Chain A
Amino acid sequence: MKTNAETTSTDLPALPADAQPVRKGAASGPGGGKPAAKVASGVFSGLSHVALAVWALLVIVPIVWTFVAAFKTNAEIFGDAWTLPASWHFDAWGRAWSDANIGRYLLNSVFVVTISTFLTMLLGAMAAYVLARYEFRGSKLIYFMFVSGMMFPVFLALVPLFKVVQNLHVHNTYQGLILVYVAYSLPFTVFFLTAFFRTLPTSVAEAAFIDGAGHMRTFFQIMMPMARPGLVSITIFNVIGQWNQYLLPIIIVPADQDKWVLPQAIATISTSAGYRQDWPALMAALSMAIIPVIIVYIIFQRQIQAGLTAGAVK
């Protein structure tokens, strides 16, 4: 690291980016005309790659290890962590799927998240559109009410929320879970989309009005399509947030095992006394919870990164 203080060369950007990997560092930063600077730069570049590669391994290894452990026997899992299974057993995957019901929990998660994200987006966009585009008394108050929800810790609301859900008789139901997911996703959705709708040009909507389109038609056929980039980001944000929910499901659908969602199920399976001492099945269950997410992530990584960091960057 120290070495880069010596990079003092003043030449213009030198090597093309795809020069030899080792030399590539020479093009770094300040330029790199003098040989000493080139060497220093090369060392810097090398060290950078080491640091980056080490972190990449730190991320990947535990995940890959879990996949491999799903093929081990119980005894092997309790032996040396760093040996491969003597023979690759697939049966733990079957047990995780059928006995531990991972398939069911996966479907539950897909079902709940699909409906609640759809509703979040529809209701959130409707509210945000009205708050962004129409002036009326109380609009500031309503906007502030929505936005303030972003600042409070959910745990403050835990007790009354639990009571509300019970009193409305939606405890241990999908409806309860979906309603609560939507309600708690609204603050950020409304906040983000209000800002987004404000940036859209007014002239298009005005033209639509002149052509005789009503408020509804203008919203669904003109504004929604124009807001697509914002809608996509925030949809991704909500899908991931709701897919990974743990607290809300464990308080809203604690008793009805058939309605559990994936994170809740995995956590419970794991804590319930080592899951009948069947560790390979737990690892297989864990893998089955992780693999679909990784596949989706790899396909949509660009949009996912944009979606999750949306709102944090101006």
Chain B
Amino acid sequence: MRQGRYPFIIGFLAIPVVLYAVFVIGPYVQAFQIALTKWNGYKAPEYVGLKNFRDLFEDEAFTSALWHHLWILITLPLATLVIALFFSFLLNVGGGAGKSGTMRGVRFSGFYKVIFFLPQVLAVAILGVLFQAVYRPNESGMLNGLLAKVGVAPVQFLNDPKLALWSIIGVVVWQGVGFYVVLFSAGMSSIPKDVFEAAAIDGAGRFTLFFRVTLPLLWDTLQVGWIYLGIAAFDMFAIVQVLSVDQGGPDNSTTVVALEIYRQVFRYSELGYASAMGVVLFFMTLTFAALTLRVTRRERIEF
């Protein structure tokens, strides 16, 4: 089996590695270099050192985008994880013990999981268009249509700068919950049933069962979920671009770094400046992942 080992290895790796280097690694590395230039994409790039980075923090659209990421980073994972944990607990443990003695979910839990997960398979861009109809500012909108029936004045979900970002985060939560329900369900089902039964025999109520038994044993999965949502919180491009009024509006109240990057490239041809934003985004993502891993590190419970 030694024969032809290296030709085989090279033959199998060559195409994927070249493809990956050209389209992924190369661009990532170059981005750091371009970030130090002023470049419109046609003339030769002109090196300006760290000027782009200094300009960034005086750029109002960019700084408000940074603030939005902070808010999203706090609210998106929190809302999604809390709702998902609640539902997955109901679906997996809330139904009590079945014939064979295993803990099980409430009735129709399989059906609920299918429905909840559904938004996950729909493209975010398509959800953006769908939620334009949900949020329309008069009675023709699904939400305002309901509010009109109970006599509440229409809410400007996407036009009110104070509300717009929350409305958009709402869509992302709406979409994400099902995924985490399924994820946590998988985590919960890997917890041995006798752990629950032992706790139940010792007189644990549902609250204790949830906070003292399920949650600690689910810690790893929860951490994964938090990281996924945190990384999602640094993106949000498609939903903001498609759903928000005037792409990031009103008055930049929903803009995000990714959208600013896109705008700088395709609207103003400020390629160097856009790359500088990309570098900042990169360090934000990295810091987030590193912090999360550090903060959530605790002894693993083996079972």
Set B9, B23, B30, B116: member contacting A55, Cβ < 8 A: B116
Considering the chains assembled together, what is the distance between the CA atoms of A186 and B286 in angstroms?
20
Contact of A106 with B by CB under 8 A: no
A158–B5 touching, CB < 8 Å: no
Contact with B along A184-213 (1 / 0, CB 8 A): 101100100000000000000010010000
Considering the chains assembled together, what is the distance between the CA atoms of A63 and B104 in angstroms?
30
Counting contact residues on chain B (CB < 8 A from A), the size range is 35 or more
Contact of B79 with A by CB under 8 A: no
Set A51, A61, A130, A267: member contacting B142, Cβ < 8 A: A61
Stretch of A84-92, A93-101, A149-157, A224-232 lying at the B interface: A149-157
Chain A neighbourhood of B97, CB < 8 A: 13-14, 27-29, 31
Contact with A along B130-164 (1 / 0, CB 8 A): 11111010011110111011000000000000000
Closest-by-CB residue of A relative to B119 is: A59
A17–B99 touching, CB < 8 Å: yes
Given the interface pairs A129-B12, A159-B274, the reply to whether A59 lies near B174 with Cβ below 8 Å is yes
A29 to chain B minimum Cβ distance, whole angstroms, is 5
B231 to chain A minimum Cβ distance, whole angstroms, is 8
A243–B282 touching, CB < 8 Å: no
Which of A55, A126, A134 counts the most chain B CB atoms within 10 A? A55
Contact with B along A44-68 (1 / 0, CB 8 A): 1100110110011011111101100
Chain B neighbourhood of A160, CB < 8 A: 26-28, 30-31, 34, 275
Set A56, A244, A293: member contacting B124, Cβ < 8 A: A244
Which residues of chain A have a CB within 8 Å of any CB of chain B? 4-8, 10, 13-14, 16-17, 21, 24-32, 41, 44-45, 48-49, 51-52, 55-56, 58-63, 65-66, 69, 77-82, 123-124, 126-127, 129-131, 134, 136, 142, 145-146, 149, 151-153, 155-164, 168, 179-180, 182-184, 186-187, 190, 206, 209, 214-216, 219, 240, 243-247, 251, 262-264, 266-267, 270-271, 282-283, 286, 289-290, 293-294, 296-298, 301, 304-305, 308-309, 312-314
Which residues of chain B have a CB within 8 Å of any CB of chain A? 1, 4-6, 8-9, 12-13, 15-17, 19-28, 30-31, 34, 41, 83, 86-87, 90-91, 93-99, 101, 103-104, 106-108, 112-126, 128-134, 136, 139-142, 144-146, 148-149, 174, 177-179, 182-183, 186-187, 190, 197, 200-201, 203-207, 209, 220-221, 224-225, 228, 231, 234-235, 237-238, 241-242, 257-258, 261-262, 265-266, 271, 274-275, 277-279, 281-282, 285-286, 289
